[in-house]
A and B are shown apart, each in its own frame.
Chain A
Amino acid sequence: MSITQNLTTSISSTSSAFLASPTFTPRYSCFTSFLIGIKIASFFCLLIKILIFFSGYCRSQVSLPVKSVSICKCVATPQEAETAYKTKVSRNANMGKLQAGYLFPEVARRRNGHLLTYPDAKIISLGIGDTTEPIPEVITSAMAKRSQALSTIEGYSGYGAEQGEKPLRSAIASTFYGDLGIEEDDIFVSDGAKCDISRLQIVFGSNVKMAVQDPSYPAYVDSSVIMGQTGPFQKPVQKFANIEYMRCNPENGFFPDLSSISRPDIIFFCSPNNPTGAAATREQLTHLVQYAKDNGSIIVYDSAYAMYISGDNPHSIFEIPGAKEVAIETSSFSKYAGFTGVRLGWTVVPKQLLFSDGFPVAKDFNRIVCTCFNGASNISQAGGLAFLSPEGLKAMRDVIGFYKENTSIIVDTFDSLGFKVYGGKSAPYVWVHFPGRNSWDVFSEILEKTHVVTTPGSGFGPGGEGFIRVSAFGHRENVLEACRRFKQLYK
């Protein structure tokens, strides 16, 4: 049987692929450490082989009650590595800039390691932001109907429009951007915001500079590195050269001081924010749009959590006058409809958004969508359309309400323990401050002592140090149990 392998230096998941709640069917996940230098690798190979031999440790694709665990295998024995054929194709230097110990696989690796140490532990995952509640039937019955129809002559459809099916584009425009002047043909349906982020980077190319909030969702920085927009990683500051990191912390109300950065071409801005949970105010977004206008920058606004907003914070950047000339908005059905596995999202590129030579950004984005993509799955799109029906939207509000209740429970728990807690009002994430502490240490402590997986703040950027992100996706009983355990630990 093959033994799977993976590298923490270069392989990573920015998603929940490797983390799952205990009720999920076993998932495939595998890691291995790829150490620098064949000699070091061969030493560990030998060590691992010995462990494998004596402990019967190594099995591939084992199904455990909670998760499948795959064990590492070295790439090659020393002799094989030295004589193994190599092509003459140079490795992409941009890939080489990506750092070891990337966030989510590292979290998953530690989780899996923990499970090996405590095989009977009931691990609760409040790490990855993966939805857990079943999809409302109004949506799944529409997808079932579409699937069924594909077996009929009248109902079969092949290639769809790469930009998405017209009724869905129209429904997205009217539901989310009703009075905001965003039209159906400004909407591009996709297989998710993460994929769109990379497609946007391909549109922009390597000769632009971006700014990100710090902390922020890792895909913005990583896709920028892969595209070749950044310089090398600077270990002392834990930042990539040529990215503007805009610190967002309690002191500045989680909104960056834009006067302190040098002009970027592209500004990634996520609100409500992952990981801090902060939702920007109308004033703040007006300031952001004005900054972009004054500096000729383009905002890529990630509104994937907008439906979690409590209060009157803007749901869309296009609520701000002038935004159509400076912003793109990307969003997703993942956290609204539980479509994390079904895969559906969208990006809005207004016609008014122009490059410096006057060329419409939407035309280039359309070209990328037609050339580098081939449309979201038609079944997923049928589900999206059903989601946007009155019945679907009501069902969504119920599910989001459920996750928001989870969030309140977690916020109350940490509040009651005397922690400074942020977020949790307009996003399914709670951002807990552990002043003066290393976030990986806190992560480990929580995991070790409560068997609860969280996410260390520094994984989202240096601005996340001293914080832990607790996600509120989970079955109620797991969230309650996790909170009981937190109270036990920190009482």
Chain B
Amino acid sequence: EFSVDGLSRVLMHILYFTSSASMINQYKFEEEEEDADTKDIFVTVDNPESHVTAIETYITYRVETKTTRSEFDSSEFEVRRRYQDFLWLKGRLEEAHPTLIVHPLPEKFVMKGMVERFNEDFIETRRSALHKFLNKIAEHPIFSSSEDFKIFLTAGSGELTSHKKQGPGFLSRMGETVKAVAAAVRGVRSRPQEFTDMQEYVEAFSQKISSIDKVTQRIVREQKEYLEELKECGPTYALWSQSEEELAEPLKNVAGCVDKCCKETDEQVKHLNDHLIPVLHEYVLCADTLKAVLRRRDNIQADFEAKTEALATKKADRDAMRDELDKTEDRLEWANNALKSDWTRWQKGMRTDLRSAFIDTAERNVSYYEKCLAVWESFLQSQRTDAEGNGNVDFS
């Protein structure tokens, strides 16, 4: 059964890999603008639950999908998945498209501070990251049509387990890994400038985004320490008010104001922690993903270069080798074009994500100061009304 949007997706697949980079980008931009208005798949990750078995305890998350896409048998799906399943999906997508950029998953373990795997904050941070991960996949023109993705979203746990068992066997995967290592050791001879530029960019970006992540974490630490000290101010003013008569009221008032500002500071720190830091962290991981993608591309090129050399020197098996070389050449061209397109896509996404995270943070900071401002202005107001009543304070 053919459908219009299913066909258009197939055509896009073909064009994606055969057209020149610029044409692809133009095509993709149009496609993406359409996608913005006609988003036809919505994925949610929520409702973490703990499962206890004889061997282990683990968390599953509810993954809900609502879609109008025809390749899906129904319009709504609800499944439960655990972290391992997400890892599997990521692995499959990377295998199928080694030079496309897969959004990072949250880390397997959190090493600092002995955070328990089942700590509430950790689970929530992970849930949020998994949600982002799936949505990034769903937004991606190639990944979202992946069969593995579809199965991930729709299959019952038994079906998923058996599907996982399919695919290239262990030995074949080993073979690929060996080849990749060999290629890496060989290195690339003549890398096109644009990929060298990309690598330089990724190195620099990685440093900068890591710095920003560290700076933000330091700000959170300093804010928390500030809050600890500020928390003692209010009670001190309150204690003082107990020894005073005339001054008791303004002192109690000030104590109240300081306590309110403490609450606001607490909320503001929480917001930084829950909103800005996870996004920065994602892009720190992205930098690593980009490095890996560039490495894989280099390996494919190294492989091609090695085979070209081999063909030049070998006398026997030339036909077979030439076939192999042609395939490898196709593979290289495919990989390069894919990377170029996805690179532009990724940059745009990065800009959007980071811009909105920074804007959100700036807005939150404005709101924090506005709230504190209101607290102190109401104090002034109360003193003015008192003064007007007593007629003794000059506000000029």
A and B from one assembly?
no
**Residues on A close to B: CB < 8 A?**
none
Chain B interface (Cβ < 8 Å from any Cβ of A):
none
